[in-house]
Amino acid sequence: MNLFTQVFENNCRWVAEKTKTDPEYFTKLATGQHPEFLYIGCSDSRVTAEDLMGLQPGQVFVHRNVANLVVSTDNNVNAVVQYAVEQLKVKHIIICGHYECGGIKAALHPSDMGQLNSWLQTLRDVYRLHRAELDAIPDEQKRFDRLVELNVLEQCINVIKIDHVQRMWYKTGFPQVHGWVFNVRTGVLKDLGLDMEQVFGDIRSIYDLRPTASE
């Protein structure tokens, strides 16, 4: 049996297992979604959100792209964030990078990659912003891993620049923004422990979109 055919056999077994445990599983699933998390991760086939978080369908709203980027001109990610925040009212937005990320590696070793060049520019900008720290790391693997982490930080900052996020944040205190890294070498999920309120506080005068009293 080839892998393509196996997918449909796997699906039949999955449906049977779910309905055996709960005959109303799909009836309830069809009534709507109420996830607490928006997960923005990498498209890498080794990094699947629900599996690494141990959660079920309906619990995580997921957006994935190469190197888990939040780009201000990307209508796709902006639409996802707006829907998650305004309609689903998620409590947490997670930016999850992963070690051994091909996009990060491409940023460390620039070359002409055709259509990918414009996308990877954002990653190369992250390298530029933190070049002094990164170039001071002699071990290439550690430098690679650190750029993964710094990219997560910068994408978390990009999330809190978004107007939909700020409006809901000031109104309700949510969503909270978190930066994680998945270690594909060990399977361990790492919370970087970013204090995004403090981070935003340092740049608030530049990116704060909250209307002033005079407005």
Mean pLDDT of the chain: 93
pLDDT at 213: 47
Residue with tokens 């997560």: 152
Q: Which of 63, 101, 145, 178 is catalytic?
A: 101
The CATH number assigned to the domain with range 34-193 reads 3.40.1050.10
Q: Which amino acid is it at 88?
A: L
Task: Indicate the DSSP class of residue 86.
Answer: I
Q: Is 34 a catalytic residue?
A: no
Tens of pLDDT, residue by residue over 99-133, are 999 999 988 888 888 888 888 899 999 999 999 99
Tens of pLDDT, residue by residue over 11-67, are 999 999 999 999 999 999 999 999 999 999 999 999 899 999 999 889 999 999 999
pLDDT at residue 74 above 80? yes
Q: Which of 12, 22, 34, 46 is catalytic?
A: 46
Q: Which of 63, 96, 98, 156 is catalytic?
A: 98
Q: pTM, whole model, 2 decimals? A: 0.93
Q: Is 185 a catalytic residue?
A: no
Strands 189-191 and 176-182: antiparallel
Q: Is 156 a catalytic residue?
A: no
Q: Which of 42, 63, 145, 156 is catalytic?
A: 42
pLDDT at residue 215 above 80? no
Q: Is 208 a catalytic residue?
A: no
Tens of pLDDT, residue by residue over 152-192, are 999 999 999 999 999 999 999 999 999 999 999 999 999 99
Signed CA dihedral, 129, 64, 158, 75: sign only:
positive
Q: Is 42 a catalytic residue?
A: yes
